[in-house]
Amino acid sequence: MAWEFLTVYWREMIRFVRFRTQLFSSLLQPALWMAFFGVAMSSSFNRFTSEIPVPPGTVPVDYLTFMAAGMIAMTTLFTSLFGGMSLLFDKNWGLMREMLASPMPRTHIMIGVSLSGMTKSFIQVAIIMAFGLILGVEFFPGFSPARIAVSILGIFVFVGVFSLGFLLFSSNISMRLESPEGLQGIITLLTMPLFFVSNALYPIQAFPPFLQALSTYNPLTHLVNGIRYFALGSEFFAVGARYSYTTTDILTSFAYLLAFAVVMYILARQAFRRAVVT
């Protein structure tokens, strides 16, 4: 059959629901970030930038709203990087050996795990957006209902492609390692540079030229660009900087994320084909 990956997907989602600690922590983490970090930083940044005049024709955006898009991106990054952890547990428990020996194509294991990780990311994004609106996040300013629906779909498309790329990256690394500690070390090494060398929390215009160049190659920056374009519009003013996105800018960001996902798929596919679990 061509749908074996759905079995892997369903198993991963059952595991996600049954492990109550993982379930509640993954659902509460983005809400807590918004409630504590977001509100605290918002009051500080709004006070520092309140005297900067807003350019004519742009929509003023407070820091909490600006940062909410970064929180969506950050949560998606963390969830995706940890997505391959289940593969390591399967290897340690002997389940991976059984799956690799089954008639199911090995790529279906990778696809099933990736789709479950994307689903988890979608759930967390929905929670952040809903909880953010309760806290006062002003997404979709002046948008019509039809445009809001299109914008939400656009956000989920960007999140899905980004999540897929890093889930495949995590799966690739997991199939080459033997212990969860090794994957945790790699994730710890990558998450902070990816997060802070991006535009998730603050404008990159103030970065040194070297960091600005790195930021343009950072997939997280392109995810944030897409989220802000759909959630805030093509023209807005936040944290003392004016933001202007064209359709070409957003299509370029999407193409970059799509190319990243394709490269990660090729690498992960090779890792699964060569995997030997004893």
Cα separation, 260 vs 158, in Å, equals 12
pLDDT of residue 137: 86
**Cβ atoms of 223 and 158 closer than 8 Å:** yes
Cα torsion 155, 156, 162, 163: sign: positive
Tokens for 193, please give them: 């540079």
Look over the chain and give the mean of its residue pLDDT values, rounded to a whole number: 83
pLDDT of residue 18: 77
Question: 222 vs 19, which has greater pLDDT?
Answer: 222
Most confident of 6-15, 140-149, 251-260: 251-260
Cα separation, 271 vs 191, in Å, equals 22
Element housing 244 (H / E): strand 241-244
User: Residue 237 in 3-state DSSP?
Assistant: strand
User: Residue 117 in 3-state DSSP?
Assistant: helix
Cα separation, 261 vs 246, in Å, equals 23
Can you tell me the mean pLDDT for 252-276? 90
Say which DSSP state 217 is in.
Answer: T
pLDDT at 64 over 90: no
DSSP E strands in the chain: the ranges are 59-60, 235-238, 241-244
Domain regions of the chain by residue span: 21-274
Question: 213 vs 101, which has greater pLDDT?
Answer: 213
